[in-house]
C-alpha cells in the first residue's frame, strides 16, 4: 500500500514538473523570437550581443538552487553544495559551447528574417532532432512520426522555394538567403544539442534529479555566454552599446529594458527545454517547440504587422498536419504499450514504472 502511495506521489511530481517546464517553454518559445526581433527592428544591429543575451540570464538559476541547497541541509538529505560530477560538468561545458554557437546562428537569422518566417524554418528542427535522437539515444519511431517529419520538412521547403515575398525592405537577396541558410543551420545544431542533453542524463553515474538538471543548465548557459562574450569583445560590441542605446527608436531606457527582457525570457526557454527532456524526452521537447509555432506565427503577424502570404499558409498547414500526425501516432503507440503491459504477468516492473519510482527524490 505504501509503495503504491509513493508511486502515485512520484507520478504527480513528474506531471507537476512537466507542466512547470512546459509553461517555461511556452514563455520562451513565443516570447524569445519576438523580443529578439524587437531589438533588431528598432535599431539594434549587434548579432553577437543579441546571441549573448539568449543565455546571459543564467545567474537567475542561482536563486532556486540556493533555496534547494538550504532545504537539503535542513532535511539532511545531502550536504553537498553542488550535485554535479566532473564528468557531467565536462559534458555540460561542451554542450554549452555548442549552444553559444547556435545562439549566434539563430540571432543572425532573426536579424535577417521576419519572425513568422524564421519560426516556420525552425519547425524543421523536429526532423533533425528525430534523426539525432535515433542515432544517439535510440529513439523509436512509428509510421505517424515519420509522416510528421516528412510534412515538416516539406513545410520548410515551401518557404525556400518562394522566399522573395517577405524579404524586409532595404535587405539584399544575398542577405535574405544567408539568413535562411543560417536559420536552418541553427535548427540543425540545436536539434543535435537536445539529444546530447538526454544522452548526458542516460550516461550519468549518479541519480539525475531536477536539481542536477538546473545545475547543468547553469553550466551550459555560462559557457554559451562566455563564447558569445568573446565574440562581443572581438566585434567591439561593448563599446557600441551606449551609442546604440542613444539612437534606439524606443528610447535609451527602453533599449536596456529590451536587453534585460531578452535574457530573462530566453532563460525560461532553455530551462524549460532541458526540464521537458528530464521529464519526457528530447523528441518531446522538440515537438512542444514545434507545436507553439502557430502561436508565434499569429503573434508576429499581429505585433509586427508581418505579411502572411500563400506560401506561409501552405507551410503552416503542412506543419500543423505534421504535429497532429505525431501526437496521434504517439498516443496510439503508448496506448498499445499500456495494453500489452497490463496483459503481461511478468514480475519485473515496466521502464515507465521504474523511472516513476526514481522521482521520489526528484527535487
**Mean pLDDT on 103-122:** 84
Q: What is the pTM of this model?
A: 0.79
Average pLDDT, rounded, for the chain: 80
Q: Find the distance separating the first CA and the last CA of the chain, reported in whole Å.
A: 23
- CB–CB of 121/180 below 8 Å? yes
Q: Which residues contact 1 (CB under 8 A, 6 or more apart)?
A: none
**Mean pLDDT on 163-171:** 62
3-state secondary structure of 138: coil
Report the largest interatomic distance among the alpha carbons of the chain, rounded to a whole angstrom: 72
Question: What is the model's pLDDT at position 130?
Answer: 78
Nearest-5° Cα angle at 102, 150 to 256: 125
3-state secondary structure of 79: coil
Q: Which residues contact 226 (CB under 8 A, 6 or more apart)?
A: 100
141 or 180: which leads in pLDDT: 180
Question: What is the model's pLDDT at position 268?
Answer: 92
pLDDT digits (tens, 9 = 90+) for 236-291: 999 999 999 999 999 999 999 999 999 999 999 998 998 888 888 887 788 788 77
Question: What is the model's pLDDT at position 89?
Answer: 95
CA distances to 69, 96, 194, 201, 227 from 137, rounded to whole Å, are 31, 19, 11, 10, 27
- CB–CB of 237/48 below 8 Å? yes
Report helix, strand and coil shares of the chain as percent, to nearest 5: 80, 0, 20
- CB–CB of 240/48 below 8 Å? no
pLDDT digits (tens, 9 = 90+) for 146-156: 787 777 667 66
**pLDDT for 2 beyond 50:** no
Residue 318: HSE in the Cβ half-sphere, 13 Å Cα cutoff:
22
Spatial CA neighbour of 97 closest among 212, 225, 235, 233? 225
Question: What is the model's pLDDT at position 351?
Answer: 42
Report DSSP letters for 281-331, one per residue: -HHHHHHHHHHTHHHHHHHHHHHH-----HHHHHHHHHHHHHHHHHHHHHH
Q: Cα separation of 356 and 56, whole Å?
A: 33
Quick one: cell of 296?
508565434
Question: What is the model's pLDDT at position 148?
Answer: 73
**pLDDT for 312 beyond 50:** yes
Q: Cα separation of 124 and 129, whole Å?
A: 9
Cβ-based neighbour number of residue 77 at 10 Å:
11
Q: Cα separation of 284 and 335, whole Å?
A: 17
Ranges of each domain in the chain: 2-361
- CB–CB of 319/293 below 8 Å? yes
Q: Cα separation of 153 and 126, whole Å?
A: 9
**Mean pLDDT on 312-341:** 71
- CB–CB of 124/156 below 8 Å? yes
**Mean pLDDT on 323-351:** 63
Amino acid at each position: 500500500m505504501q509503495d503504491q502511495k509513493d508511486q502515485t506521489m512520484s507520478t504527480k511530481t513528474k506531471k507537476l514538473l512537466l507542466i512547470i517546464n512546459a509553461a517555461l517553454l511556452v514563455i520562451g518559445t513565443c516570447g524569445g523570437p519576438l523580443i529578439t526581433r524587437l531589438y533588431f527592428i528598432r535599431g539594434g544591429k549587434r548579432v553577437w550581443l543579441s546571441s549573448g543575451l539568449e543565455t546571459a540570464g543564467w545567474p537567475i538559476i542561482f536563486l532556486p538552487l540556493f533555496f534547494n541547497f538550504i532545504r537539503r541541509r535542513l532535511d539532511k538529505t545531502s550536504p553537498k553544495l553542488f550535485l554535479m560530477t566532473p564528468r557531467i560538468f565536462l559534458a555540460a561545458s561542451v554542450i554549452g559551447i555548442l549552444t553559444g554557437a547556435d545562439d549566434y546562428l539563430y540571432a543572425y537569422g532573426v536579424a535577417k528574417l521576419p519572425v513568422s518566417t524564421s519560426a516556420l524554418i525552425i519547425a524543421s528542427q523536429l526532423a533533425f532532432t528525430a534523426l539525432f535522437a535515433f542515432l544517439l539515444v535510440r529513439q523509436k519511431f512509428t509510421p505517424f512520426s515519420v509522416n510528421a517529419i516528412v510534412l515538416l520538412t516539406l513545410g520548410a521547403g515551401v518557404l525556400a522555394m518562394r522566399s522573395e515575398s517577405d524579404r524586409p525592405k532595404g535587405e539584399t537577396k544575398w542577405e535574405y538567403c544567408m539568413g535562411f541558410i543560417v536559420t536552418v543551420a541553427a535548427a540543425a545544431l540545436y536539434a543535435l544539442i537536445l539529444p546530447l542533453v538526454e544522452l548526458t542524463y542516460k550516461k550519468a553515474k549518479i541519480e539525475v534529479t531536477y536539481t542536477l538538471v538546473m545545475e547543468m543548465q547553469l553550466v551550459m548557459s555560462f559557457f554559451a555566454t562566455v563564447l558569445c562574450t568573446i565574440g562581443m569583445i572581438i566585434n567591439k560590441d561593448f563599446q557600441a552599446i551606449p551609442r546604440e542605446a542613444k539612437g534606439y527608436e524606443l528610447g535609451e531606457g527602453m533599449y536596456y529594458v529590451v536587453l534585460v527582457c531578452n535574457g530573462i525570457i530566453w532563460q525560461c526557454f532553455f530551462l524549460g527545454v532541458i526540464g521537458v527532456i528530464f521529464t519526457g524526452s528530447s523528441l518531446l521537447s522538440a515537438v512542444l517547440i514545434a507545436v507553439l509555432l502557430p502561436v508565434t506565427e499569429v503573434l508576429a503577424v499581429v505585433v509586427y504587422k508581418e505579411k502572411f502570404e500563400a506560401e506561409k499558409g501552405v507551410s503552416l498547414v503542412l506543419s500543423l498536419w505534421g504535429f497532429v500526425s505525431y501526437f496521434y501516432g504517439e498516443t496510439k503507440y503508448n496506448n498499445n504499450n499500456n495494453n500489452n503491459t497490463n496483459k503481461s504477468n511478468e514480475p519485473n516492473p515496466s521502464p515507465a514504472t521504474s523511472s516513476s519510482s526514481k522521482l521520489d527524490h526528484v527535487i
